[in-house]
Amino acid sequence: MSQIHDLTALEQAAAIRRGELSGIEIVEHYLARIHAHSDTVGAFVTVTADHAREQAGALDRVPPGTRTRRHPGPLYGVPVAIKDLTLTAGVRTTFGSAAFADYVPSVDADVVRLLRAAGTVSLGKTTAAELGCSLYTEGEVAPPARNPWDLACTAGGSSGGAAAAVAAGLVPFAQGSDGGGSCRIPAALCGLVGYKPTRGVVSGGPLGAGGFGLPSHGPIARTVADAAAMLDAMAVPVPGEPYLAPPPPPGGHLAAARRADPGRLRIGRFTTPMLADEPVHPDCLAAVDTAAALLADAGHEVVDVPAPLGPDLWPLFETVWYVLALAPVPPEREARLLPLTRLLRRRGNAISAATLVATLAELQVQVRRAMHAVAGLDLLLCPTLSAPQAPVGWFTETGDPAEDFDRQRRFSPYCAVFNVTGQPSVSVPVAQSTAGQPVGILLTGRSGADATVLATAAQLEERTGWPGRHPEIWRAGPSATVKASEPERAGGVARSTTPDVR
């Protein structure tokens, strides 16, 4: 018997449309799993159970004939989770920090508003790295985000709780944000799809100054199609954004993912780390080889190319990262920040305006050179990370925040480059390590070519068969059974008359 959480987000929405499942049934199923497993994997910092029930009930009461008019798109009634860095009106939003443990915003981020308008139902806030500063999620306001595939290992960051929740079957997909790899890193570690869209595709409003173009909201999902559907819900033009969005693809991003046919592409393959001179784990190299072979078998031309940027980019990137750590914090609460955050903020405060302007100018020079170097390529293929996993506590074990930060650079020497360039970039799971843990690869496209990236990722996903693989916790109760083994092919699921909730 299939479980409700075996269904993808799109399949759950289809079951609601056919009347086979109600939104409230799906919400109750996930709330039971969150109650049972969230603390184990460190997924949620705040669960909004009552509000989710109210919202799902209200959506269930809307007459079927008017649902798409009120909430256009294919995600009506599907649960989602919002990252704890993302403003959510009336809901505790801690930014992953004890310094904001009781903060409740009065406004929604645009992506929260847009996801609600699409008919999704938020189950709460997922754990995040403090102020988004690290690629692991081990703060003081919630348990550390652990990898559902191996609880001794990190789920990554800064969207670690989002990835842990999706991989453990606590929510079908989740909103994340990515300023230096923060959607793609957790996705790679947890065997998921993590997508960073082209700069400007998704609004960063209503607050903030755009973070020099580095951060973007993005989806974390089990399948490329689910990620694309969530991207469509968020990629709605909002006036006043600082970066111009490229035209949307015909039919939307979901249509591109469903086609899974980008045409014949020229794909540049490289494995040399870009932000650190760091040896790459054989399992990560093997994953790139696997992806390259599958893409070549699909008819693409895969050629070896030099890395478009190198370690000389790091001093420029870290300067900007230090400044980005200077989010407003009341002076009396600075002492409650983690050692790494305090270090980054001290360094950020020491950077003059002149230095920052010069750094941004030099970054743009390097981006232009890199884009000229790869102009003949449709996509880039490289590892997501330099190693398949890292234990919880490994980054902080020396007690030296400077060493912590350097370990992060060496662990993730690829992702942040594409935040600097603004290109669309996705981590796709393609293999398992020798220890049985997921290993992802990065596909990165030309700016504005999100449809090409998603279609190729979906094409690769079809050839790996990855979405059917799950960690052991996936089968742990409580669960509600549904009568379907292949819901997408069979056209639906049949609701069991007595849900098996254990």
User: Is 425 one of the catalytic residues?
Assistant: no
Q: How far is it, in rounded angstroms, from Cα 491 to Cα 172?
A: 19
Write out the DSSP string of 443-490.
Answer: EEE-TT-HHHHHHHHHHHHHHHTGGG---GGGG-S---EEE-SSHHHH
The answer for residues whose C-beta is within 8 angstroms of residue 52's C-beta and 6 or more apart is 27, 31, 79, 121, 122, 123, 124
The answer for residues whose C-beta is within 8 angstroms of residue 346's C-beta and 6 or more apart is none
Exposed/middle/buried for 299, CB within 10 Å: 0-12, 13-18, 19+?
A: exposed
The gap from C-alpha 282 to its chain's centroid, in whole angstroms, comes to 25
Tokens representing 126 are: 């997922």
The answer for residues whose C-beta is within 8 angstroms of residue 487's C-beta and 6 or more apart is 2, 6, 7, 11, 14, 15, 493
Cβ atoms of residues 422 and 213 within 8 Å: yes
Which listed residue (134, 182, 216, 479) is catalytic? 182
Write out the DSSP string of 285-348.
Answer: HHHHHHHHHHHHHTT-EEEE---SS-GGGHHHHHHHHHHHT-----GGGGGGS-HHHHHHHHHH
- In order of 30, 135, 182, 251, the CA distances from 115 in angstroms are 18, 25, 20, 19
Q: How far is it, in rounded angstroms, from Cα 58 to Cα 62?
A: 7
Cβ atoms of residues 85 and 127 within 8 Å: no
User: Is 483 one of the catalytic residues?
Assistant: no
Which listed residue (2, 122, 134, 158) is catalytic? 158
Nearest CA among 229, 201, 238, 206 for reference residue 217: 201
Sign of CA dihedral 181, 183, 186, 187: negative
Q: How far is it, in rounded angstroms, from Cα 150 to Cα 235?
A: 34
Residue 332: Cβ within 10 Å count: 8
Identify the three-state secondary structure at position 118: coil
Task: Report residue 481: phi and psi, to 5°.
Answer: -85, 150
Sign of CA dihedral 402, 199, 183, 240: positive
Which listed residue (2, 38, 83, 125) is catalytic? 83
Q: How far is it, in rounded angstroms, from Cα 20 to Cα 125?
A: 28
* Residue matched to tokens 């540049």: 268
Q: How far is it, in rounded angstroms, from Cα 135 to Cα 186?
A: 8
User: Is 158 one of the catalytic residues?
Assistant: yes
* Residue matched to tokens 């003081």: 140
The gap from C-alpha 66 to its chain's centroid, in whole angstroms, comes to 32
Active site residues: 83, 158, 182
